[in-house]
Structure 1
Amino acid sequence: MDTILEIKNFSIEFETPEGQVLAVSNMNVALKKGQSLGVVGESGSGKTQTFLALMGLLAKNGRCSGQASFYGHDLLQMSVEQLNQIRGVKMSMIFQDPMTSLNPYLRVSRQMTEVLIEHKNYNKKDALEKAIHMLDLVGIPDPSRRIHMYSHEFSGGMRQRVMIAMALLCEPDLLIADEPTTALDVTIQAQILELLDELKQKLGMSIVIITHDLGVVAGLCDQVMVMYGGRVAEHGDVQQIFYHPQHPYTQGLLQSMPSLVSELDQALYSIPGHPPNLQSLPAGCAFNPRCAKCIDACSQTQPELLAVASGTMVACHHVHTPHVAENLS
């Protein structure tokens, strides 16, 4: 299986009036064609900034380093003109806030059809037909009429579905979806996830889902990457991580999910403490102030991302300490 995206030694820094912020540090990840990757973690963990940087959409005060190869070509070294040949065509992104992503001055029909006319050489009639078909696929009622409306005439959930339809128009090789189902009810959410899975199977499309919803990851993804404090805490097969999580942070995330089989009077678990301040990360592992399994090394040295017996990559001194590994075996 060909590798479509490979990120190596990737870091993002922001210059702010309060000082330097290290938003992402030394990330390494590869995504193969046809695979789907779920990226999870608390707000501020670096999930969205990573993929905005790959799209060339990092804020002006941001600077990234390392490599991010798309089909072997480094996205970080491309000019705006080169990126424009890829963005929206071979690599598309569904943004988290559809209200600010859609142009309020243009009808939805104009915004959708110009993508096909510009990048796929469609004529206006065929472009409009495909755009209507895509709106129908994502669950927009009466799409042939609604496509001629403005974005403010749609509800929040409807706007989100329009954004998803626009991202899928050119049938990209890589789709990056930032919280794609946040504003949708569970029925439409299921339809969208089913559509993404169908396109993944039909087109061999690779998908990155950035989300807080572990249920979405379980339902759609092959791989999962857990981020904390701008670093990868754990990365591997979704089944392995969901059923045998190794990092204490991953364990905490999974324990905090509501369960239909838990006792009615059982309190929902909450990870103690607060996410770290990226301007003043603690020494060693960023999770150590909140971790019940913290050992001396955790507050002194940043753990490396290393493989465990299952093949999962984990950045945790507790997991890789020899006497702990013996107790686990």
Structure 2
Amino acid sequence: MAKWKLYWVESDGYEDCFVVAKNSRSARSVEANMNGFDISDATAIRVMDIPDIFEEKADKKFRDWSKIHAPQQANNPDLHEWPWYADKWLLEELGAQFRVIDNEEQILLRDIVYAKKPTGEWYTYSIGARAIYERNKDLPQYDNYDNEPRIDISKQLYTAMGLALTQCHEIEFLFSNSFVFAVSEKQKKKYKTFNDFFKGWEKKTLGGLFSAMQEAFDIDPEVKMALDLFLDMRNTLVHGITTTERYDINTDWGQKELLAFLDLFLSLCDPIKDIATSCFEVSIEIANTYLLKESDENIPIKSSNELLSLFINCFKLKSMN
């Protein structure tokens, strides 16, 4: 069993840091004693065990440093580096990666990104296998970081991107054919005939469609948040996500970031697609009931009370006065 452990110690958000200690109380004590916190104000999160071979290396580095900066202690036979803050060399030996992106200093270790904002405040988020497990608790938890196989997952990511783009196309088709949203006065003034409307509606961007929806209907706040998030992620996806620094598919870090992004996006697509389908079905019902001549055949569709209820719960028609 390893003698030392690596902890991520959180305090005021600005002094958060990696600490090497034997237990969480010791780790919190290092931070509290150095920065004047009460030990109860600090939280220590265990990251991993530290192989015993690094203790001797840390002590040697500390002794060499002491010979220059603190010679009075350099010959002390009981001189030891830890418990103390984790140096960069140790984090690198433990598998950490470093980068600066969007003016943030970031450290990646075991699928957790430790990011420091330009303001100096730290925050963390999960990517890769850890992010997928956190959002899908029914999946087996991946914990093989000590012997993590280096696998090229770029092909799987391209497949997932294909699935994501297919979902985008299907969702946009449903919304672009949901003419129920043309009932606002602003939209009515743009078109003289239904054919004009259909042609104009199909040319709208997804953002334009969502704006037109808000002109005619009050949208449930949670649904609106989901639609806005979908639009933002959709735009990120279709405008070359794999070539951006954060999601660069040619790097291990970028692949893990992209994996987490696609997992979240595909999870979001399911409820958005249900909403889009409900809008489409309501539009077809309106067409069959009010727009077709008696001699015309109805547009074939399988009506669903569940989808009708979903539409009613998500969208409330604004006053036309």
TM-score bucket of the superposed structures, by smaller chain: under 0.3
Normalising by structure 2, we get a TM-score of 0.25
Larger radius of gyration: 2
Greater RCO structure (CA 8 Å; 6+ sep): 1
Q: Which has the higher strand share?
A: 1
Which is richer in helix? 2
* TM-score calculated relative to the size of structure 1: 0.24
